[in-house]
Structure 1
């Protein structure tokens, strides 16, 4: 599975986990259809395991928004991208940002990608300094 597809499936899994009582394994099995992908699994497990730290980091970047007020798709995309930016560091930050924007264009509304771009750009400024 290509990384773009892994990110898309990870987003679907994380979104599902936030809205149900499923375990990580159950949610992953619903999305994967028997496929196994280590990048996908690392994204899902890592985002879930580091959720408290990711949310604390996001709270410092959101202006005039609380994490709870964000639409679920934007919140989930941001969490996934911030996990990659802070904990994985195997893809350039611009790639992570572009992938997050594409996910918003696919699953969000017309304002989603601009909002996510604005929040994530605060991370890329930090990492380039």
Structure 2
């Protein structure tokens, strides 16, 4: 599995955990929530990218959540599946702030993670929301 894919999965897991525990960014980026064997197996490139996604998403959570809320159709933000929300938060952070990562890669990775960790319909829902946000951001009106 590619290093960035592993990093995105780690970031998704950390953000999912953060949603329920509200652990500090420091605890999340130190991967203290992983068992030591898994933590020791993370290579530096994977850890660096995961840390960037985790910290960046949480530091920009108000903007990220506002973008998600603005693109939900017939959905209440507070009732979103927490797996879907963690995937979308990480991905919206990437779409908005990581200009060096192509939006198509961000969305494809989110879909793949949703297929692995979400419900049967998660990937379709996430794809629709992220695609709308991508178009909005590319049009210059996103925030």
TM-score (norm: length of structure 1): 0.91
Q: How does 1:38-117 map to 2 (within 5 A)?
A: 38-117=48-127
Larger radius of gyration: 2
Measured after TM superposition, the shift of residue 26 of structure 1 is 2.3
Measured after TM superposition, the shift of residue 127 of structure 1 is 4.4
1:29 aligns with 2:32: yes
Structure 1 partner of 2:14: 13
- Structure with greater helix percent: 1
TM-score (norm: length of structure 2): 0.83
Q: CA RMSD in A?
A: 1.6
Contact 2:16 2:86 in 1 (8 A): yes
Which residues of structure 1 form unaligned runs of 5+? none
- Classify the secondary structure of the residue corresponding to 2:12: helix
Deviates more, 1:2-11 or 1:30-39: 30-39
Partner deviation per Cα, 1:67-115 (whole Å, 9 max, x = no partner): 1110001111110100000011221101000000011001101100000
Contact 1:94 1:124 in 2 (8 A): no
Q: Distance in 2 between matches of 1:124 and 1:56?
A: 14
Measured after TM superposition, the shift of residue 38 of structure 1 is 1.4
Measured after TM superposition, the shift of residue 21 of structure 1 is 4.2
Which residues of structure 2 form unaligned runs of 5+? none
- Classify the secondary structure of the residue corresponding to 1:47: helix
